[in-house]
Structure 1
C-alpha cells in the first residue's frame, strides 16, 4: 500500500516538474520526431480511447503504438494532458494507463 502512495507521489512530482517547460518541449519533440505522422488515424483513435477512457487496447493497435516509440508516445500523452479540454482527467491514472 505504501509503495502505491510513493508511486503516486513520484508521478505527481514528475508531472509538476515537467509541466513548467512541457508545452514547448513536447511540441518540439513531436515535431522533430514526426510523431503525428507515424500512426494511422484508426490506431490513434483506439490508442487515445485506451489511454484516456477504457484502459485496454487490441494487439493490432498496440503493435502500432510500440512502433511509434516511447519518446513520441510520452510527448503526445503529456501534450494532451496540457490541453484545457482534459483538465478534469486524473494525470496519475492517465500516466498509468499510458505505460
Structure 2
C-alpha cells in the first residue's frame, strides 16, 4: 500500500512539474515573439470571445489574428487555459474551437473575395 502512495505522489509531482514547465514555456514563447504587441486589445477580446463564448470575429480581427501567427495564437490560448479561473471549461472543446477560429480566419484572408 505504501508503494501505491509513493507512486501517486510521484505522478502528482510529475504532472505539476509539467504544468509549471508549460506555463514558463508559453510565457517564454509569448515574450520572445512579442505576441502581445502584434494584435490590438479589441481584437484579442474579439478572438477570445469567439473561442470561449462562440461569438463572431470580424474580418479586421481575423486579419490581425493571421498577422499574429499560429505560433503566438496557440501560445496565448494555452496560457489562458492555464489560468485557474478557467477550470470548468472543456480543454478539448477550447482547443478545437481555437483551431477552428484560426482555420476560418486563414480561409477568410486567403479568399479572393473576402466579405466586407
Q: TM-score, normalised by structure 2?
A: 0.66
User: 2:74 aligned with 1:69, yes or no?
Assistant: no
Q: Give the match for residue 96 of structure 1.
A: 96
Following TM superposition, by how much is the alpha carbon of 1:97 offset from its aligned partner in structure 2, in angstroms? Answer: 0.8
Instruction: Render the CA deviation track for 1:9-58: whole Å, top value 9, x for unaligned.
Output: xxxxxxxxx74631010000000000011111110110110111115322
Q: Give the match for residue 25 of structure 2.
A: 25
Q: Which has the higher helix share?
A: 1
Paired positions, count: 82
SS at match of 1:45: helix
Instruction: Render the CA deviation track for 1:51-94: whole Å, top value 9, x for unaligned.
Output: 11115322221111010001100000000000001111111111
Q: Give the match for residue 14 of structure 2.
A: none
Larger RCO, structures 1/2 (Cα 8 Å, 6+ apart):
1
Find runs of 4+ consecutive structure 1 residues off by over 3 angstroms.
none
Q: Give the match for residue 83 of structure 1.
A: 83
CA contact (8 A) 1:55 1:97 kept: no
Q: TM-score, normalised by structure 1?
A: 0.76
Q: Trace 1:40-55 onto structure 2 (pairs within 5 A).
A: 40-54=40-54
Q: Which runs of 5+ in 1 are unaligned?
A: 1-17
Higher-Rg member (1/2): 2
